[in-house]
Amino acid sequence: MHLNLKSHTANPVIVSSLAWNAVRDCLTKTGKWELVEHIESVKVTPTRITIKTGKPIVNAELTNHKEALKIRIDESFKTFGIPKSERKIVFI
């Protein structure tokens, strides 16, 4: 049986939730759980993934993990059939 998740993964709230979960998972696995507590939101658009913390020091530390975050988000999107596209990760 094949599940058709297209109708769910077209919803921007669902896509942002998947990205938020991937960010949390990635930081937890790398031993940076304390950074997760400072993340206020994760928003996904067709060209950008915005991670909002409001704290420059946290953003600087997250920048060190940018590539790992991107890989984990891409894996999560692939699992749920979200088309791959080049999205820039931005910390604010």
Per residue in 25-45, pLDDT tens? 999 999 999 999 999 999 999
Task: For residue 1, give the DSSP letter.
Answer: -
Does residue 2 belong to any structural domain of this protein? no
pLDDT of 5 strictly over 70: no
DSSP letter assigned to residue 31: T
What domain range includes position 79? 11-91
Q: Is pLDDT at 4 greater than 70 in this prediction?
A: no
Q: Does residue 49 belong to any structural domain of this protein?
A: yes
Residue 32 lies in a domain: yes
Rounded distance between C-alpha atoms, residue 51 and residue 72, angstroms:
14
In sequence order, what are the beta bridge partners of 51? 42, 91
Residue 25 lies in a domain: yes
Model confidence at 9: pLDDT above 90: no
The C-alpha atoms of residue 24 and residue 10 are separated, in whole angstroms, by: 22
The single-letter DSSP state of residue 80 is: T
pLDDT at 7: 62
- Number of structural domains found in the chain: 1
3 domain-assigned: no
